[in-house]
Structure 1
């Protein structure tokens, strides 16, 4: 097991876990804007014990990192999400589950037990702070203390990590994949939680094939389900090959359904084989649906179906157009930017609506890795791009936008990000003027240790 820790890239450098739970008052350089009050919550994989067998970055125990900003000061707190998996392994003092709950590498003690890790996203809705991942119900944690409160059973099964909130109605839309009695199946769910936090809809349907459906899109009147050929197969997994693998010969599909429609009415559009972890936003215009997505030529981080290594590839922002009134089911694609990037974000008061401003973590060096060394702002109206490049091997998290006030113009506010300082092996919390990214941070709060690379974060206003 020690050999795995030395050679697995996702257990070394700033991917390596930080196992202490800490509370720090951070030194601030520059000036935190007076109007910036609230908390940036981030989450990511952080295995509490050395993993069993082959470890995949997506499968580590969730740890939440909270940066609370108030009166120009910044405090930091991190806590594990104490899922049933975390509690069981804690009681045994060792790792028990294989990656993604793989039965081939799971200890008999843990067979059939809940393997949720709550490590991918953390969202606030209807007064609840929810830690999310691909294959389990939302897990509630307390806002300030980060105390674990348990699964929210109302969701009645699997929910993925990328819900969308309608800025007008306050409804939260979500989905699940691999739904049904058999794991790694083509079964999916679509659900709605109302503004008060009550689950008011959950419907199941079958996708064209079983795939990892990491994210989806919601517009004012429609829901879009991308089924792309990062396929899932229980049979493949049980034969010792990868549970999730790249199979481009399957091509890509996009399901479109009216929000008030039945799942039986989903219309399937076609797109060439590619992969998208994250869209930026989607909206409706003149009888068409416009979806802006970070598109890979092939799924990164995953092998081919025969177990051979997948190709090295990077994502770029493209615009997909689906003509609802036309006679073709083909998706039109055009580039929006020529800079490699990931983790696209926007002013979410425009979620599902037309919008102008977007931000993302970028890789100006073209290294085709998930290690992003810059933050970019793109004005979709003018096409102008601003980039703030980090130096010395420093790398950034997903940039998160927060508006200057509830009624501020779109894109008027700040962007926050967590940056790993490679030379010092620690992290900083950075604040930028959202539309002047190239100027660099206006304030930096310095941590005495590092925050491991993670996935998503969201700002919750104070």
Structure 2
């Protein structure tokens, strides 16, 4: 365990602290049975500051990928590797990174996705960084020179078209640009979107016909540059949700005012049978008053906006439990759906994770949950469908879990339809996986690994 000073921020303590070793181990020990239909890689990204500099916010640590290869009912290997970015190279060379921002200078620490045969490590202030299935860094990827803005860490892949929908935001003009890449990975459309000021726009959503943007009151503040996250809550900014046709060639967003709030992560959005647009999000009542904090994250709740055909907006809290890291069945992104999954966040004091997982049935309003052993902290879990034509929610929830009792981590696999029964398998790893951000299941055929 990395030693940290007294009164250190939460992201320097316990399983938030970085690990120092890059490890590769084959033939991992499995408790239970790995479902044989799981054939691919589970990859997850997160901050792991090489220099152990905890004066800057947790969100800006150097990106490290943690991956497990599953095939034939076995866990073939675990590997963790830094994403070899220019910023990391500067640190290893003892250089101080220049103030001038370049789109290729990235910490690549927030998410990792696969699209059009490429694996991309993402952070929202730079272009993607391509990595190989072995987690070796290939280099900055700008869609063959066509991407001239940052790329959100939360692109959305449409299950109907295979298109990659994403955006970039910046403190400079253009502040927000909406992009679409086709199924083959060619950037086919970029549309500048006008907003009131540089806002921290972390995620967005799509429906079958629209993209959903959130213009919310966490705005840029240069006085906070030393934190690495120069944003703060602004009471006078207001909040609104915007809808634009996915095929738009110019800014034609229709904006709808909502109560002031902040959202990192939508769960899903869709167009209902009555013509309304439904947007389910994890909503903070406010966030970062005075700037980014070091004591944890504010509570957030499952929330629904419904924008009717006449433009009237209704708002509803769907649950009183605090949660984060919402995910759903990837085959239902942008479509009417039933099931969502999230991690409770009110048991660790950080607001980042706990030992309890929740399944939501957003149609009936019912939910179920499962709590792991004391001392367990969960990371984000993703749903892997049992097959291409399986019913919604039929499949496996996969993610990392840390145990403070033995200071180690496991890749946990759960039956998504029966989470109350607990894990069907735990793949024990050779070292702990620090709390991080986002990852995905990457089927072997998607990358030819």
* TM-score, length of structure 2 as denominator length: 0.91
Partners of 2:350 and 2:81 in 1: how far apart? 32
Partners of 1:18 and 1:241 in 2: how far apart? 21
Residue 102 of structure 1 is matched in structure 2 by none
Tell me, yes or no, if the aligned pair for 2:194 and 2:251 is still in contact at 8 Å: no
C-alpha spacing 1:401/1:358, structure 2 compared with 1 (3 Å): same
Correspondent of 1:34 among 28, 33, 36: 36
Residue 449 of structure 1 is matched in structure 2 by 431
Correspondent of 1:219 among 203, 207, 210: 207
Q: CA RMSD in A?
A: 2.3
Residue 339 of structure 1 is matched in structure 2 by 321
1:360 aligns with 2:349: no
Residue 151 of structure 1 is matched in structure 2 by 140
How far 1:179 sits from its partner (Å)?
5.6
C-alpha spacing 1:227/1:423, structure 2 compared with 1 (3 Å): same
1:289 aligns with 2:277: yes
Correspondent of 2:305 among 300, 307, 320: 320
Residue 384 of structure 1 is matched in structure 2 by 366
1:190 aligns with 2:190: no
Q: Which has the higher contact order (CA 8 A, sep 6+)?
A: 2
Residue 420 of structure 1 is matched in structure 2 by 402
- Higher mean alpha-carbon deviation, 246-255 vs 54-63, is at 246-255
Tell me, yes or no, if the aligned pair for 2:57 and 2:229 is still in contact at 8 Å: no
Correspondent of 2:118 among 128, 135, 159: 128
C-alpha spacing 1:191/1:49, structure 2 compared with 1 (3 Å): same
Partners of 2:317 and 2:367 in 1: how far apart? 14
How far 1:332 sits from its partner (Å)?
1.0
Partners of 1:179 and 1:308 in 2: how far apart? 21
1:254-265 map, 5 Å: 254-265=241-252
How far 1:395 sits from its partner (Å)?
0.6
1:274 aligns with 2:256: no
Correspondent of 1:232 among 215, 220, 225: 220
How far 1:177 sits from its partner (Å)?
1.0
Partners of 2:12 and 2:404 in 1: how far apart? 16
Partners of 1:398 and 1:349 in 2: how far apart? 18
C-alpha spacing 1:395/1:83, structure 2 compared with 1 (3 Å): same
C-alpha spacing 1:40/1:242, structure 2 compared with 1 (3 Å): closer
How far 1:217 sits from its partner (Å)?
0.9
SS of the residue aligned with 1:89?
Answer: helix
Aligned length: 434
Tell me, yes or no, if the aligned pair for 1:210 and 1:233 is still in contact at 8 Å: no
Tell me, yes or no, if the aligned pair for 1:179 and 1:188 is still in contact at 8 Å: no
Q: Which runs of 4+ in 1 moved over 4 A?
A: 2-6, 238-242, 307-312, 364-368
Partners of 1:49 and 1:363 in 2: how far apart? 28
C-alpha spacing 1:202/1:310, structure 2 compared with 1 (3 Å): farther
C-alpha spacing 1:311/1:23, structure 2 compared with 1 (3 Å): closer
Partners of 2:227 and 2:61 in 1: how far apart? 21
- Indicate the structure with greater helix content: 1
Tell me, yes or no, if the aligned pair for 1:194 and 1:200 is still in contact at 8 Å: yes
Tell me, yes or no, if the aligned pair for 2:218 and 2:233 is still in contact at 8 Å: yes
